[in-house]
Structure 1
């Protein structure tokens, strides 16, 4: 074997031994990529100052099929992006923080978009999906995932409509689906059966929310930091309100608490300073720390909100929470307890009356006995006097 052939084999061995998780783009250092199991590439942008992204269909001979997690994360100047038809997967946080991006077009082949892919896209106004995509579709600029129960994936953060009502065919809402929507004022969930975590967090213009009765739980900080939120209609089937669900909603003053509610998470209504009257049902079994009635003072410490009044059932978890935390409360005893108290009071009165009659009878009996004894003593004295007189006359 000649020397050149040996060198060639050695070079091939060295190249094969090199890690292939991160290889530079041949054309420019704009992108890096990871080779997937099938030999295709998962792309990542390495230029944080990129303004226009024309993603290549191939890189170093490898077909680009995925946008990696955090692909464009931090590209705050990115205004446009073109995704090639070869892409099938968009991973989490792919466009995180792309605050100048206004529109995005999803190609026909994309079959998977992970949660949070478009978080921080504060200027996003419209999402479109290519015709023929079998997994996703767009309706009025809003991204949906098709299926038996259709899922609302992402409502664009800068879509200028002020009200929105979910379509009847939409059964699920993805986590963070409405987060940071800056113009939305009224939102109605119709015929929805599941709502993901943190769904409307930081929707600062949102004023009114209506949730249909089929939703059993609100997970995480679903409506936290909605500083304009005033009115919420909770579903009748709701059993759980998650930790910090309405955290920081300073304007919230109107909300219903369903009769089937069982759990209210930690700081669920923290800093809801306008929520002064709290009619909490007896169905509640657990209340997390500072779930109601607390806010933060100027020094940053938790403090009780003045004027808060709990309307609770005697002995319930809400009653115990209000009492143990030193809040004012109004409580009505259960009918069974009222009956017991009334019956007890009647028995007590009867007992007292009985004791009084018994005492009077005893006093009367003692007085009669004393009178009889006095009469007997007088009779004996009279007999003694007669006896003495008779003896004296006989002498």
Structure 2
């Protein structure tokens, strides 16, 4: 009798664990995976509002979000990416809502395809490490007010074009290149801090940033300013290391703004 009771207890416990595991998993009809289970090819459930990929036994193994995978998903508000995410494809979240929380493992290193979040409703994001924020990654994300950066070498063309950012801090990110129109038409941007590693600022980088008042450049050498269109429509006060003030004022293109260049405190 004792043996029967023990066996029944074990069976019930196993069934309970299996049920618990199943409860953590979303229906496989909600999505399409690659044959090896590592790429999320398409999210097929258009009614999904909240998605925690890390909590799902299959989705937590995904390391790539395919091109257009969530494109146009107007109801998807909140997403938590799997810890081992390595790549988000082009246009993956273009036009999606994302008005809730977007959560990355900030210790991961992720590659982004162009226009990955273009025209989405994303508001706030803490980014993982990446070599490059791709062209137009957040273009026309008109609700995007805050971005926290980990490490990034290059910000691509139109990366933050026409967003609602108010202040940007790129210090200690390792950024070397800010490509053309990177922050163009960010009409609410008032302050930006650029790192010691900065080497170049592209054309139209701050075009139309009519409220930009303060730019702090911590670069150890005068970075290349491609042309004067970078500050078209308004010129901020530019604060640089005191030992480089004269170098900036004498440098090509920078000399156009010599009355706006000051030693940083």
- Scaled by the length of structure 2, what TM-score is found? 0.62
Is residue 282–residue 317 contact of structure 1 (8 Å, CA) maintained in 2?
no
Match of 2:237 among 301, 305, 309: 309
Q: Deviations over 1:48-90 (max 9, x none)?
A: xxxxxxxxxxxxxxxxxxxxxxxxxxxxxxxxxx9997987xx
Q: Deviations over 1:133-185 (max 9, x none)?
A: xxxxxxx65677x96x6224434721330x43422464114222222122x22
Q: Which residue of 1 aligns with 2:118?
A: 179
Q: Which residue of 2 aligns with 1:17?
A: none
Does the C-alpha gap of structure 1 residues 319 and 187 become closer, same or farther in structure 2, counting only changes over 3 Å?
Answer: farther
2-structure distance, mates of 1:206, 1:124: 16
Task: Quote how far apart the aligned CAs of 1:205 are.
Answer: 0.8
Q: Following superposition, which runs of at least 4 residues in structure 1 exceed 6 angstroms of deviation?
A: 82-88, 110-113
Is residue 287–residue 318 contact of structure 1 (8 Å, CA) maintained in 2?
no
Q: Deviations over 1:107-137 (max 9, x none)?
A: x9x999764x358x4443349xxxxxxxxxx
Q: Between Structure 1 and Structure 2, whose CA radius of gyration is higher?
A: 1
Match of 2:149 among 203, 211, 224: 211
Task: Quote how far apart the aligned CAs of 1:247 are.
Answer: 0.7
Q: Which residue of 1 aligns with 2:159?
A: 222
2-structure distance, mates of 1:230, 1:123: 27
Q: Which residue of 2 aligns with 1:335?
A: none
Does the C-alpha gap of structure 1 residues 322 and 151 become closer, same or farther in structure 2, counting only changes over 3 Å?
Answer: same
Q: Which residue of 2 aligns with 1:26?
A: none
Task: Quote how far apart the aligned CAs of 1:187 are.
Answer: 1.3
Q: Which residue of 1 aligns with 2:18?
A: none
Does the C-alpha gap of structure 1 residues 235 and 216 become closer, same or farther in structure 2, counting only changes over 3 Å?
Answer: farther
Q: Report the secondary structure of 2:230's partner residue.
A: coil
> 1:253 aligned to 2:190?
yes
Unaligned ranges ≥5, structure 2: 1-28, 36-40, 49-58
Q: Report the secondary structure of 1:171's partner residue.
A: coil
Does the C-alpha gap of structure 1 residues 284 and 114 become closer, same or farther in structure 2, counting only changes over 3 Å?
Answer: farther
Q: Which residue of 2 aligns with 1:242?
A: 179
Match of 1:125 among 70, 75, 78: 75
Match of 1:277 among 189, 193, 214: 214
Match of 1:329 among 256, 260, 265: 260
Unaligned ranges ≥5, structure 1: 1-81, 89-93, 96-100, 128-139, 296-304, 333-395
Does the C-alpha gap of structure 1 residues 314 and 220 become closer, same or farther in structure 2, counting only changes over 3 Å?
Answer: same
1-structure distance, mates of 2:93, 2:31: 23
1-structure distance, mates of 2:215, 2:81: 38
> 1:196 aligned to 2:149?
no
Q: Report the secondary structure of 1:314's partner residue.
A: helix
1-structure distance, mates of 2:190, 2:171: 17
Task: Quote how far apart the aligned CAs of 1:242 are.
Answer: 1.1
1-structure distance, mates of 2:231, 2:220: 18
Q: Which residue of 1 aligns with 2:4?
A: none
Q: Which residue of 2 aligns with 1:58?
A: none
